[in-house]
Structure 1
């Protein structure tokens, strides 16, 4: 495995109202936007923090909408060989939801799911001549944490550890809610995995965006027509989080170093 295999590299929102999403997340997270044009592909908006792309936005296609899938955020994980990784997902009890295909000038990707149905994207990025510098951990506007509400936390960690090379950083005992496993990618803490509580309808990944302070962010979420579903809550290490939904119903989370 290369030094990038298993690394989260992108986050993407599919929503029926891209204009509303640009306005909402611009105010809540502080993102600016640019447009990207790829031949043969639908329009694509890049969310930027300090002039560097951190996430993408595209209009919700009619096909998944008709299947009852809500607007959603999805993460992308870099893999050395997307075709082989898609086969590995299927061979280890997961599934391939969209077979590997090329995005001209960007890379080759597939949509996959783990054995309990949590969906994620995998991608082998196209080589870049001048890749942008990585922002420091915790920088505002960056994706600060990746969290899996798993069908079974232990089984999910074993699955992703095998396919992405993730390692156990440490476990946090959450009492009645079970064990929260913090995992590392190439030695860097990058997310957590836990067995989902009954209130979460299906196994799913969720993504935390960095903001400077949580209380003012809550005000911006509410003012923009979003809904705070959980929090504010202090987490181990002293950060504060909320879980929320945007005006179109996409689930997202915010994390900040202070109230």
Structure 2
């Protein structure tokens, strides 16, 4: 489960790159009740999504050449420069940085060897998101990889994640958590991209999950507000009811109404 105790390797930030921040703010405002708060004129259009005053995500204009609208997950590091070097040594790439974000922290945009983009955040004045796992906030991270075995080796090398494999129908789902934190601190999963989608050119990618009170209502709102329902709501036994969605500009994300914790 995600927490705001941001130990090394744990997700601590998520932001959206979009061609229209105002339209995105309106869409996610309707969907999750988020309110956009600008980070100021010096931030180049970047700002925070807040819920009940707490920062739960962020949004900004597209800055990388040929970039398309997408959510980016950030993982905690004590040293962004060292992590960037470790990424290169493990076969990944540095897309941007490392660089300081005023006094908030230090970051780098990275890509794993299978093509999935992510970032790291070295906390300064900003440790991370103010709230997670509650309705309307980030609750899970999931890597869909064209080469799960290579991806698992890469992230083990870079973040030293603990991994637990769970056989599923036709594939293996790997649950990951910060080293030594225990299964209750699991923050994400790694699974293969289906072979037919690989053949069709679907790339590897990280997908954020946001907790919602009603996955069916979230899917309906997404469709009504110009987004797309990529995978309609379905029940995952023992996990919850989940749907894969895309906003009006094509950024993929998922929602889930988590099953009640076992007594």
- CA distance, structure 2, for counterparts of residue 133 and residue 83 of structure 1: 22
Matches within 5 A, 1:194-213: 194-197=191-194, 198-199=196-197, 201-213=202-214
Matches within 5 A, 1:1-259: 4-37=7-40, 39=42, 41-61=43-63, 63-64=64-65, 67=66, 69-127=67-125, 135=131, 138-175=133-170, 178-185=171-178, 186-187=181-182, 188-197=185-194, 198-199=196-197, 201-257=202-258
- CA distance, structure 2, for counterparts of residue 3 and residue 225 of structure 1: 35
Which residues of structure 1 form unaligned runs of 5+? Answer: none
When residues 138 and 4 of structure 1 are mapped into structure 2, their CA distance, relative to the original with a 3 A threshold, is closer
- CA distance, structure 1, for counterparts of residue 47 and residue 204 of structure 2: 27
- CA distance, structure 2, for counterparts of residue 3 and residue 162 of structure 1: 19
Contact 1:13 1:57 in 2 (8 A): yes
Number of residue pairs aligned between Structure 1 and Structure 2 = 247
Cα deviations by residue, 1:49-107 (Å, 9 ceiling, x for unpaired): 2211111100123x42xx2x320000111111100100000011111111211110211
Cα deviations by residue, 1:129-163 (Å, 9 ceiling, x for unpaired): xx68964x631111111000112112211211221
Runs (4+) off by over 2 Å:
131-135
- CA distance, structure 1, for counterparts of residue 79 and residue 96 of structure 2: 15
Which residues of structure 2 form unaligned runs of 5+? Answer: none
When residues 42 and 3 of structure 1 are mapped into structure 2, their CA distance, relative to the original with a 3 A threshold, is closer
RMSD over aligned CA atoms reads 2.1
Contact 2:6 2:76 in 1 (8 A): no
- CA distance, structure 2, for counterparts of residue 7 and residue 38 of structure 1: 30
- CA distance, structure 1, for counterparts of residue 232 and residue 85 of structure 2: 39
Give the TM-score of the pair, scaled to structure 2.
0.87
Cα deviations by residue, 1:33-54 (Å, 9 ceiling, x for unpaired): 2221274x31222111221111
Contact 1:141 1:210 in 2 (8 A): yes
Q: Secondary structure at the match of 2:213?
A: coil
- CA distance, structure 1, for counterparts of residue 123 and residue 115 of structure 2: 24
